Structure 1
Amino acid sequence: MDTAIDSNNELKTRFPLTPQSTLGALVAIVRNPLDALPPSIFTEPLVFSKTAGEIKVYLADPALIHEALVKNADSLGKGDQVRRALGPALGQGLLTADGAHWKWQRQSVAGAFRHDKLLGLQPAMIAVAERTRDRWLENGQGTLDVGHEMMRTTFDIIVDTMMSGGHGIDVGKVETGISDFLRPTGWAFALGLVHAPEWLPYPGRSKAKAAVTFLRSSLQSVIEERRKSPDDRCDLVNMLLSASDLETDRTMTDAEIVDNLMTFITAGHETTALGLAWTFDLLSRNPDVERKVLSEIDKVTQGRPVTADDVSKLVYTRQVFSEAMRLYPPAPIITRTALEDFRLGEYLIPAGTVLIVPIYAVHHHASLWQDAEIFDPDRFTPEAAKARHRYAYMPFGAGPRVCIGNAFAVMEAVAILAVLLQKVRLAAIEPQTPKPVMKVTLRPDKTIRMKLVLR
């Protein structure tokens, strides 16, 4: 479609559309939403497409992403598709809420993620990683499901640091429950695209519903126990229990506290675990990089156990994790819906338009990254990072809604890598890295099994 200039505001109000089959898009979304991305978004700054009669705007230009998600943040909401897919589990927590309700919740938990608070959590992170290491050493050399191992480790960290132990939550059942909930989300997104009735059944829906019931009831038990026996622990649970809106003085209901605990457990442990699983796979296939990581850990620790003071000194190890998240961003797509008309570059975006920021495409974009498919941690030296546009790399999102736990996640990942790699190596078994598949988060299409080798 040719573009046209609006005579009143000189903004383009008609868009050059890339044709996209509705049926093809629906099938791709169910199987793997990454396959539904227009191929041109890996080379072009923005792409307009029309699917199921609705225009969608794909953004890969960092300047346009900044303009949309930062300058026009108030003009954008999460949208109906996100609510349909994630609302049953996350309710109106930080990830799914909009407007004033999102703002006061964010303010309520911000204190838990201050830098000084995170530094105080490092010993607990290291202790959990040491338990994983000791379990591996006790079992001896063999094969591991590294994804499962990292899920278990990061979940234990979330429970220990944010919930003061979690009152006996069943870690294995929680991990299974999260997977059961996320697995069929492609169906929820696809049916939302064509505005199908929300009651419509689809494969995996019953299992997902049962998983949500289990997960939310488990967290409700934690809250009830804490209300029954209050204490002065400075953890996320107590922060949520005592939170109040500065403008209205209202406090959170139990359901709202569960919403936010669910958000932090699903988003807070799974994304880091996936980033670590991809990192171990990449290290095993890049021995030169692996040697540099092992050398740095040995140099910083001098052979003694990893301490909290070591984590900030492991600069190259952090670069490795950052590059793994570039290649495999845990949250590979951001969607927003325009709440009102707003200007984006030379275009007037009408209310109701869905904007898609395909972080996976941005991180692999030909104009932003040289040899984008190559694993190269030197992209994240301080000098290289300064030379790059802030929104060319955004594994934790962007703008006011950037992930509140981003510093927690990176600190946690570096601590885990240091503790484990000090004593063991993980060697790839499969000849190739698994294919990434989006199920809200970016998961491998098959289990990453690796061989444990003692150092």
Structure 2
Amino acid sequence: MGKTGMRLRPALGRSMGGPRRAATRMSGTQTDARDQVLDEIPVAGEGTKTMKRTGTSALLVEESNKNSVLDDVLGALFQVGGKLIFPNDDAVVAVGHLNDLIGDFPLFIPLQQYFFRAGGVYKLSFAPVSQATFYVISDAAAVKHILKENTFSFDKGLLAEILEPILGQGLIPANIETWKARRPVVQPGFHLNWLNRMSITFNECANVLSDKLDKAHEEDEVVDLENLFNSVSLDIIGKAVFNYDFGSVTRESPVIKAAYACLKEAEHRSTFLLPYWNVPVLGSGETSVIPRQREFAMHLKVLNDKLDQMVKEARTLKSEADLEALEKRNYHEMEDPSLLRFLVDLRGGDCDDKQLRDDLMTLLVAGHETTGSLLTWCAFELAQNREEMLKIQKEIDSVVGDGEIEFDHIKQLNATRLALAESLRLYPQPPILLRRALEDTELPLSHGGEDKSTVGADGVMQEKTVKLGKGANVFISVWNLHRNPNLWDEPNKFDPSRWAGRKEPFSDLTSWKGYEPRENPGMYPNEVDADFAYIPFGGGQRKCVGDQFAMMEAVIILSKVLQKFDIQLAVPPEEVGMSTGATIHTRAGLKVRCTPRNK
């Protein structure tokens, strides 16, 4: 029978007895008092040891109202579900509440509250059925087991079911057989020669953004940097993947409106665990009784029609070649250097138009969301850490001067790359990865020492292994993993320098090797360097195909902005909230002033 912890109630949210808006705020490091707001918190696996949530990005939350009778009844039902579903798994059972899912706060926050009490792997059940029962994973060894060592023992499960109507069989939601067929075709398109050419596109789009910031300064305007970063990311994806100029930084169009509507719906579905859009009695698409779904169907048709048009036009100009020849093309002289052109021309990479459209739609959604959010939160942190911003600007002045950020500059912009890497640790994009077990498996845990089990701060016994049954749904909480105090020193602190040297594992970690920077570092510290305690782009064979592209893009955009401007928050940092999407967004934009630098 699964072990049941004490009743775990997140310290935020709305009680079932009455509405209450939760305040999820962010704090910076400039005011020492902010570091003292929260009391010390228990950390599972550390016995009586406590950890204070201090430093940059510590989350401040309000205590919830007292539970209502209905809330208690639902909590008891959820506890029963945790005991009945996969009863012999040796997992700690955390007691869930319905308003944990529907409250006015990011989903990953209550999952973190449970983690502090229940440990690196726990079971959370919202009903006594397997579809509503989830294993929440925040342990590096367990994550490595799922993503790397047993890649094909898990599929995307719930995520694939949610996103299939939008992304079809693109790489993210694809079943294993489709993924095995398409990944070897898509991945070579991100080759070094092409990335070199794309650095020019990144600069061109970043220059449009810079002009926009110049104009805003001249008119003494506060700008929403989150919106602008999302727009420039969309423009880059359009040019790089489709050879299409969205021009969303400077204009609007039906295609742009449709693209954003589809992106928003993809986010909505990825965080809404009750798929009402699949209920037959409610209809679907343009016949749905739900206005939101009818509107989405209209936008999806506009975008799909545009993608179909691009695919057909690309096929009419097909110039078939093998992979080696495509990699040696002079992309600097090509009128169409897009990834679509590569996929169409690649000999042996044939697929039908629908599959190619699915591939393109997936790259659009994934490529837009991650980069825009990464840049937003990096700017948020740098605006509160003046010394880090100055370090980056000094490096840009030394390496680049006032010119364009060339491909060969990127590896030399070390401070910029590490600031972005640290932002991805604090604000992972996405904060949660979904998987489903295709067979029985046993998860190892990093924490445990010499004994058979560990004791959480609330007295819960945590086994050193947890059994997952076939069909088990898994939440890999990247947010928890990246802020796990059993793995990281001062886990809530924005500290890019942490990536410069080795991080030794704590003595009682039995299977985590620590972090070891490479002698010749890549574009960013990766999951192998950190032994899966850091997975900004996932890991294993199903790792994000565009990780190098995304980091290059982010380095160039951020460098182009800081080359010319200082960033100041236009609102107090504690007023910048978070909302859950496919990635982590602010609640109402990142309002800043961008002031030209005095060089």
Same fold (TM over 0.5): yes
Distance 1:98 1:75 in 2: 12
Distance 1:322 1:147 in 2: 18
Partner of 2:221: 142
Once the two structures are superposed, residues 156-199 of structure 1 have per-residue CA deviations (whole angstroms, 9 ceiling, x without a partner) of 2222222223599947425532443145326742348xx98366
Partner of 1:205: 293
For 1:48, give the aligned amino acid.
Answer: K
Name the stretch that deviates more: 263-272 or 429-438.
Answer: 429-438
Give the structure-1-normalised TM-score.
0.88
For residues 42-57 of structure 1, what are the structure 2 equivalents within 5 Å? 42=116, 44-53=119-128, 54=130, 55-57=133-135
* Cα distance, 1:448–1:256 mapped onto 2, change above 3 Å: same
User: Does 1:110 find its partner at 2:252?
Assistant: no
Distance 2:136 2:92 in 1: 11
Distance 2:200 2:247 in 1: 21
For residues 350-429 of structure 1, what are the structure 2 equivalents within 5 Å? 350-381=469-500, 383-384=502-503, 385-386=515-516, 389-429=530-570
User: Does 1:177 find its partner at 2:251?
Assistant: no
Tell me if structure 1 keeps the 8 A contact 2:258–2:300: no
SS of equivalent to 2:573: coil
Distance 1:222 1:318 in 2: 34
Match of 1:252 among 351, 362, 365: 351
User: Does 1:74 find its partner at 2:152?
Assistant: yes
Tell me if structure 1 keeps the 8 A contact 2:235–2:247: no
Match of 2:177 among 100, 106, 118: 100
How many aligned residue pairs are there?
441
How far apart are 1:42 and its partner, in Å?
A: 4.4
* Cα distance, 1:52–1:126 mapped onto 2, change above 3 Å: same
Tell me if structure 1 keeps the 8 A contact 2:112–2:480: no
For 1:403, give the aligned amino acid.
Answer: C
For 2:207, give the aligned amino acid.
Answer: E
* Cα distance, 1:198–1:68 mapped onto 2, change above 3 Å: farther
Tell me if structure 2 keeps the 8 A contact 1:94–1:105: yes
* Cα distance, 1:292–1:95 mapped onto 2, change above 3 Å: same
Runs of 4+ in 1 over 6 A off after TM superposition: none
User: Does 1:281 find its partner at 2:360?
Assistant: no
For residues 199-278 of structure 1, what are the structure 2 equivalents within 5 Å? 200=282, 204-230=292-318, 233-242=336-345, 251-278=350-377
Partner of 1:337: 436
Bigger radius of gyration among the two:
2
Q: Which has the higher helix share?
A: 1
Name the stretch that deviates more: 175-184 or 47-56.
Answer: 175-184
For 1:211, give the aligned amino acid.
Answer: H
Tell me if structure 1 keeps the 8 A contact 2:240–2:337: no
* Cα distance, 1:26–1:134 mapped onto 2, change above 3 Å: closer
Partner of 1:153: 232
Partner of 1:8: none
Partner of 2:510: none
Gaps of 5+ in 1: 4-11
Once the two structures are superposed, residues 140-160 of structure 1 have per-residue CA deviations (whole angstroms, 9 ceiling, x without a partner) of 352211112112212222222
Give the structure-2-normalised TM-score.
0.68
Tell me if structure 2 keeps the 8 A contact 1:220–1:258: yes
SS of equivalent to 1:443: strand
Partner of 2:82: none
Distance 2:192 2:112 in 1: 39
Distance 2:99 2:544 in 1: 32
Tell me if structure 2 keeps the 8 A contact 1:62–1:389: no
Distance 1:444 1:138 in 2: 24
User: Does 1:40 find its partner at 2:114?
Assistant: yes
User: Does 1:452 find its partner at 2:594?
Assistant: yes
SS of equivalent to 2:541: helix
Tell me if structure 1 keeps the 8 A contact 2:246–2:256: no
SS of equivalent to 1:386: coil
* Percent identity (aligned): 26
User: Does 1:15 find its partner at 2:90?
Assistant: yes
* Cα distance, 1:31–1:256 mapped onto 2, change above 3 Å: farther
* Cα distance, 1:167–1:41 mapped onto 2, change above 3 Å: closer
Distance 1:198 1:17 in 2: 36
Distance 2:466 2:559 in 1: 48
For 2:114, give the aligned amino acid.
Answer: S
For 2:194, give the aligned amino acid.
Answer: K
Partner of 2:420: 321
How far apart are 1:303 and its partner, in Å?
A: 3.9
Tell me if structure 1 keeps the 8 A contact 2:137–2:143: yes
SS of equivalent to 1:207: helix
